Copies of this chain bind each other. A is one copy, B any other.
């Protein structure tokens, strides 16, 4: 298949190339599109050297599948033009179409069938995708009434430049110098920033609201209540989330572990005695989302659970999920 990646030089674009290779996606042609600045440069990829092309609607329409690893504004401007009849299938990693009723929002393990026959498919927010790997199987089992989510989000959520800024900031901090910040609202090294995306009138950030909106859409559960606090933390590329849920029907931690052990894309890492629980150290560069610290909630009793999830932000939070969507379509 002719595959196009728009935003190929970014962190997600780069991971997408690698995931296509690792999963032996049937790529017959790989076209990498980026800004005029990068066009003409040749880059080494898992598929061999590829010369980067300047983006055009015409060139991308000639592909079979186009991955958009670009901003929401860019996606809004071009996604329909690329995917209209006679064009390519577009899988968009931005938030541009996630809340558009006409566009499916897909996590393959949960609602993959929604992608079938579609020419424009939205990939969820990284925090939502990672959360739902654990939440959706539990919802299917006992029904989730309320979820309280506190996130520990890595620098990669702000792209390759986010990771670079964190490393540079850590060096500055350790050298006793002031830490500079441009990708983040404040210095991130050795700090926490409870501010991701823009603030809404209700006091929540858009990042926090995305988790609610997208959870409801993907799980097809508009009745679920969810409150999120999204915090940027000084880790590189794996998001973690502390989750408390109230369920409609009782469930024991052992039963929850059994449900999650059967769930595709989930690895139950829950053996405290052996110091095994989800962590960025172990979840980074891993396809599966780690779930552990599963225990009965002390506030909701036997209709409640507390647990901790950790997943690679660039993989299940982005590139892996988009490639899995593409796999459904071929």
A186 to B304, CA, bound (A): 29
Which residues of B lie under 8 Å from residue A244 when comparing CB positions? 148, 227, 229, 244
User: With an 8 A cutoff between CB atoms, is A170 at the interface?
Assistant: yes
The reply to whether A146 and B299 contact each other, CB–CB distance below 8 Å, is yes
Shortest distance between the CB of A102 and any CB in chain B (Å): 26
User: With an 8 A cutoff between CB atoms, is A263 at the interface?
Assistant: no
- Decide: A310 near B279, CB < 8 A? Known: A296-B202, A299-B148: no
User: With an 8 A cutoff between CB atoms, is A171 at the interface?
Assistant: yes
- Interface of chain A, main secondary structure: mixed
User: With an 8 A cutoff between CB atoms, is A217 at the interface?
Assistant: no
- Decide: A281 near B202, CB < 8 A? Known: A170-B170, A194-B293, A234-B234: no
Shortest distance between the CB of A55 and any CB in chain B (Å): 33
Which residues of B lie under 8 Å from residue A186 when comparing CB positions? 275, 279, 281
The reply to whether A227 and B194 contact each other, CB–CB distance below 8 Å, is no
User: With an 8 A cutoff between CB atoms, is A3 at the interface?
Assistant: no
Shortest distance between the CB of A11 and any CB in chain B (Å): 16
Copies in the assembly, this chain: 2
User: With an 8 A cutoff between CB atoms, is A185 at the interface?
Assistant: yes
Nearest CB in chain B to that of A209: its residue: B298
Name the interface size band of chain A: 35 or more
Shortest distance between the CB of A213 and any CB in chain B (Å): 11
Which residues of B lie under 8 Å from residue A226 when comparing CB positions? 298-299
Nearest CB in chain B to that of A167: its residue: B174
Indicate with 1 or 0, residue by residue over A222-237, a CB within 8 angstroms of chain B CB atoms: 0001111101011110
Shortest distance between the CB of A258 and any CB in chain B (Å): 15
Which residues of B lie under 8 Å from residue A185 when comparing CB positions? 275
Shortest distance between the CB of A45 and any CB in chain B (Å): 23
List residues 129-172 of chain A with CB under 8 A from any CB of chain B: 146-148, 150, 152, 167, 170-171
A226 to B298, CA, bound (A): 6
A152 to B187, CA, bound (A): 17
Indicate with 1 or 0, residue by residue over A267-298, a CB within 8 angstroms of chain B CB atoms: 00000110101111100000000001111111
User: With an 8 A cutoff between CB atoms, is A207 at the interface?
Assistant: no
The reply to whether B203 and A281 contact each other, CB–CB distance below 8 Å, is no
Query: Contacting A190 at CB < 8 Å: which of B235, B272, B294?
Result: B235
User: With an 8 A cutoff between CB atoms, is A114 at the interface?
Assistant: no
Which residues of B lie under 8 Å from residue A193 when comparing CB positions? 279
The reply to whether A295 and B171 contact each other, CB–CB distance below 8 Å, is no
The 10 closest A-B pairs by CB, nearest first: A203-B295, A150-B150, A150-B242, A227-B298, A229-B242, A199-B272, A225-B299, A146-B299, A191-B281, A227-B299
Contact sample, A vs B, 18 pairs, CB 8 Å cutoff = A150-B229, A152-B152, A170-B174, A186-B279, A191-B281, A193-B279, A194-B240, A199-B272, A202-B295, A204-B298, A225-B298, A226-B298, A227-B244, A229-B244, A229-B293, A229-B308, A234-B234, A244-B244
Residues in A lying within 8 Å of B, measured CB to CB: 146-148, 150, 152, 167, 170-171, 174, 185-187, 190-195, 199, 202-205, 212, 225-229, 231, 233-236, 240, 242, 244, 253, 272-273, 275, 277-281, 292-300, 304, 306, 308, 310
